[in-house]
Amino acid sequence: MTAAPVSAPDRTPSQQPKSGGPRSLLAAHPLAAYGIRRFGLYLVELWGSLTIAFFFFRLIPGDPVQTFIQTLQQNYVYNQQASQEVIDRYRAEFGLDGNLFVQYLRFLQRLIFEQDLGPSLINYPTPAFEVVAQSLPWTVGLLGISAVLAFVLGILAGAVAGWRRGKLGAEVATTTSIALGHVPFYFLALILVYVFSYLLGILPNRSAYDSAIPVGFSLEFIGSLITHGLLPALSIVIIGVFNWLLSTRMLMVPILGEDYLHYAEAKGLHPNRILTRYALRNCYLPQVTGFGISLGFIFNGNLLVEQLFNYPGLGFTLVTAINQLDFNTVLAVTTISIFFVLTANLILDLLLPLLDPRVKYWR
């Protein structure tokens, strides 16, 4: 006689296994999950970039304190050899005492909890972040306006070049972009200086404004700012427009044969409306991500442009600090640059799912 199978006891609702936990919570809120995951990756990238920058600049040969003391002696502040006590005090003040690992931990502590990296050698005893804060508006004004302007003009020009492919104007623009799109910013800046400053003599090639004009919100001072910033801005805008034109045209041409464009044309929509509302809309979404990635390359080229034009931005400050082994100011410039570039990429990544519903929030 076989035993009857024993059925599992029924469970009350309170005894049922509960489904929950962080993963199910995140799956129920895909937008929040996407933001948390991307912000966590942002923090890891920020820490890794700052760590690499710290150890890289610490490997530069030379003694910053000895360089600083020699500068003081040349300026007749010291007329005798500095004692070991003075050297040790400067090393502690500039965060150069202890081994490399201790210096790294102190760097993270001062950066995270005090938002300070110590005094600057090039402008002692002003804090390094304060020196950078004085140069930051110049770079933001020059780089920010130039990068956005190049992006907008390049997208529009590339869309028109792809839409009107085969036409003379579109082919000339494409060929010119292929020829000049990979020219470095600073090389084009040299050409612009030679043409507009030395040959024509119509634009200045040094400084950010005329020192004879009082600083203020006057039309004369604003005009001087625009005049002095025109050449460095043009070198960034022109190369940027060429690059965005090529990439946008490459995205525009394959979608011109899509059915939805033929359907829009059959409905009798104006060609300009089809271009802006249908074709271009599918082109600028990948370009938004590309814009965030390109900010780092634009910033690197902008450093040399500022040095060439003696423009008082972060690039000029960075080169001056490197020449004097001012590690605090160098790290302050690098930290600000890394923070802005990564933050801009984070913002663009968070906006991308809102612009394109095809992007998955959570997997």
Residue 284 belongs to a domain with what CATH number? 1.10.3720.10
Whether the bond into 271 is cis, omega within 30 of 0: no
Residue ranges in 59-118 assigned as alpha helix (H) = 64-74, 84-93, 100-109
In a domain, 185, yes or no: yes
Asked if residue 147 is part of any domain, the answer here is yes
d(C-alpha 56, C-alpha 60), whole Å: 7
Which residues 6+ apart lie within 8 Å of 68 measured at CB? 90, 94, 121, 124, 324
Residue 292 contacts residue 344 (beta carbons within 8 Å):
yes
pLDDT, tens digit only, all 363 positions of the chain = 445 444 445 554 444 444 556 666 655 666 677 777 888 888 998 898 888 888 888 777 766 767 666 666 665 555 555 566 666 776 777 767 777 788 888 888 888 887 777 777 777 778 888 888 888 888 877 777 888 888 888 888 888 887 777 778 778 888 888 887 777 777 888 888 888 888 887 888 777 777 777 777 778 778 877 888 788 888 888 888 888 888 888 887 777 777 777 777 777 777 777 777 777 777 777 777 777 767 666 666 677 777 778 878 777 788 888 877 778 888 888 888 888 888 878 887 777 766 665 555 544
The separation between CA 351 and the C-alpha centre of its own chain, rounded to angstroms, equals 17
State how far the Cα of 176 lies from the Cα of 28, in Å rounded to an integer: 50
The answer to whether residue 32 sits within a structural domain is no
Domain total in the chain: 1
- Give the Cα separation of 108 and 275 in Å (integer): 50
Query: pLDDT value at position 298?
Result: 65
Query: For tokens 């990756």, what's the residue?
Result: 41
Q: 195 in a domain, yes or no?
A: yes
Q: Report the C-alpha gap between 268 and 354 in whole angstroms.
A: 30
What global pTM score does this model have? 0.71
Within a domain: 198:
yes
Residue 325 carries which side chain, given as an amino acid letter? L
Residue 92 lies inside a defined structural domain of this protein = no
Are 170 and 184 contacting, i.e. CB atoms less than 8 angstroms apart? no
- Residue 1 token pair: 């006689």
Token pair belonging to 7: 């059925």
What is the enclosing helix (H) or strand (E) of 249? helix 219-255
Assess if residue 87 is contained within a domain.
Answer: no
The boundaries of the domain holding residue 297 are 134-324
Question: What pLDDT shows up at residue 15?
Answer: 47
Helices and strands of the chain, counted as H and E runs: 15, 0
Going from the C-alpha of 233 to that of each of 149, 236, 267, 295, the distances in angstroms are 10, 5, 43, 15
pLDDT at res. 151: 85
Within-domain flag for 22: no
